[in-house]
Amino acid sequence: MKLSTVLGIDIGTSGTKVVVMSGQGSVLASYTASYPMDVPKPGYAEQHPQDWWQATVEAVRAVIGQVLAQGVDMEVAGISFSGQMHGLVPLDAQGQVIRPSIIWCDLRSVKEAAYLEREIGRAQIITWTQNPPLPNFTLTKLLWMREHEPELFHRIATVLLPKDYVRLQMTGELAMDMSDASGTLLLDVANRKWSREMCDAAGIPFAWLPRLVEANEVAGKLTAEAAQAMGLVAGIPVVAGAADQAAGAVGLGIAEPGVVAAVFGTSGVVLAATAQPQRDPAGRLHTFCHAAPDRWYVMGVTQAAGGSLQWYRRRFAQAAEQAAQSAGKDVYDLLMEQAQSVSPGADGVMFLPYLLGERTPHLDPQATGAWIGLRFHHEAAHLVRAILEGVSYSLKDCYSAMRELGIDATAWRAAGGGANGRVWMDIFASVVGNDVKVLQGAHGPAYGAAILAAQGVQLLSVEESRRLTEGGETVHPRGEWIDRYQKLYPLYGRAYREMKSVMHELVEICE
């Protein structure tokens, strides 16, 4: 008898990850196929949708090969997705991509976000969509195209997001799920439908928006052509899938109020499920539809969480790279060892992780990163420790904004690549002053996507899938660190407020 399995596919920023999961929730294999991010100008970030599709084909073939090599006789019962949010994929009337995708971390549409706020008003936009206008959202990217690429803009017939483009290649069907649509700034999040008012006010044709489906709903079936490319059988149900953060929340069991997740990916996220849409009048937090039809979530975002450590590694850690290679270690493990050797507070060094501007709580695309407190005796280990602490403070900022809405954490869970660093989890637990359970750090949103696939084809019920997230390692805050971080955290907030004007003037002078 063949083993029924599902595929979870995460269309990420640096690569596409595919996991094979059994109907009982065990991950049998995983594989990541990488692709580049183009930066044609400072602040720009683009990717080619065809790269996502080619990486998906490569990764699916690889994981199927891994499972077969284990001697497992399997069949794929369903496929689903998670995906990077906000990325604009404009298609023409023939379904062809018009230009490279402007992805989530692109900041070129700052003026378009300001235009929406000036012409429509932040309060009105939050009323219609639950969220403020930011340059990360899909709508502002569309308005940038209208201003700077009018010939391409007028060729648009359909607007998709990254994972929806890959699903289109698999099924030939146009669709978008509620959680990912929440990040376009064109969805009436509270009522789970497109906002005709927002489309009309922004001048975006309503006909460009695809049909909406829930995340665990079957959106199409695998075509013969796509099946042949991936080495699968035609007709497999393809479930809509969810935005990466919503899918990640599914994989962490964040579905009921009270449990809060911290995700340490390239960006950092603090996320809490709610039974009703919770609106932040100040717009610091995002309110999006969850992957469950009767749930929403509130989310705060740190633009450069793991991204800050990745930036440090690429720019300044050549010696650590060489030492790690000589010792047969992963360079990030070595960086964590360096951070562990430094006392809390990094001997007076503080890091502001605003390398990509900042969303929560500042909504400031012109915020910039900084080390503060450097002295002659400081070494690389102090800088690394300060990065881990600065990102942890930033994530606490997100939670502090949530608490102002009455959202309290009865339990914390953590995931993402950064959650594999034990010293980082020790720091974070001590900064927030709570136990933190680390779950599925290795598989991330792809695991949540696999759970959605299993739900969509009835291999797992929603209740059964929540039991998959039990277990994990609990990290306790360190009593001797808590007091130090309680004193340093207010200084972190002051540092931004007192340096904000300098940051902005530097950006304006040097652009």
Mean pLDDT of 483-507: 97
What pTM does this model have? 0.86
DSSP string, 159-188: EE-HHHHHHHHHHS---EEHHHHGGGT-EE
Per residue in 112-139, pLDDT (tens digit) is: 999 999 999 999 999 999 999 989 899 9
Residue where the block lists tokens 């990094």: 346
Q: Which helix (H) or strand (E) holds 47?
A: strand 46-47
CB 454 within 8 A of CB 400: no
Catalytically annotated residue among 180, 244, 280, 426: 244
Q: Which helix (H) or strand (E) holds 509?
A: helix 479-510
The CA distance from 76 to 5, in Å, is 5
What integer pLDDT is reported at residue 440 of this predicted model? 59
Per residue in 441-474, pLDDT (tens digit) is: 568 899 999 999 999 999 998 778 777 777 789 9
Residues 6+ apart with CB under 8 A from 375: 348
**Assigned token pair, 485:** 């971080």
**Assigned token pair, 430:** 């001590």
**Assigned token pair, 94:** 């023939």
What integer pLDDT is reported at residue 84 of this predicted model? 95
Per residue in 74-117, pLDDT (tens digit) is: 999 999 999 999 999 999 999 999 999 999 989 899 999 999 99
What integer pLDDT is reported at residue 27 of this predicted model? 93
The CA distance from 130 to 133, in Å, is 10
Q: Which CATH class is domain 306-438+478-510?
A: alpha beta
**Range in 60-64, 188-192, 358-362, 465-469 the model is least confident about:** 465-469
CATH topology of domain 86-160+176-209: Nucleotidyltransferase; domain 5 (3.30.420)
Q: Let me know if 244 is a catalytic residue.
A: yes
Say what percent of the chain tops pLDDT 70. 99
The CA distance from 98 to 306, in Å, is 31
The CA distance from 397 to 377, in Å, is 30
CB 215 within 8 A of CB 448: no
Classify the C-alpha dihedral 464-465-468-474 as positive or negative.
negative
86-160+176-209 and 306-438+478-510: identical CATH topology: yes
Residue 476 DSSP class: P
The Cα-based distances of 339 to 203, 229, 379, 414 in angstroms read 50, 45, 11, 19
Average pLDDT, the chain: 94
DSSP string, 384-433: HHHHHHHHHHHHHHHHHHHHHTT---SEEEEESGGGG-HHHHHHHHHHHT
Classify the C-alpha dihedral 310-314-318-324 as positive or negative.
positive
Residue 160: pLDDT over 70? yes
Residue 270: pLDDT over 90? yes
What integer pLDDT is reported at residue 441 of this predicted model? 53
Per residue in 313-363, pLDDT (tens digit) is: 999 999 999 999 999 999 999 999 999 999 999 999 999 999 999 989 998
Domain ranges of the chain: 86-160+176-209, 306-438+478-510
**Assigned token pair, 439:** 């779950």
What integer pLDDT is reported at residue 429 of this predicted model? 98
The CA distance from 82 to 246, in Å, is 8
What integer pLDDT is reported at residue 415 of this predicted model? 85
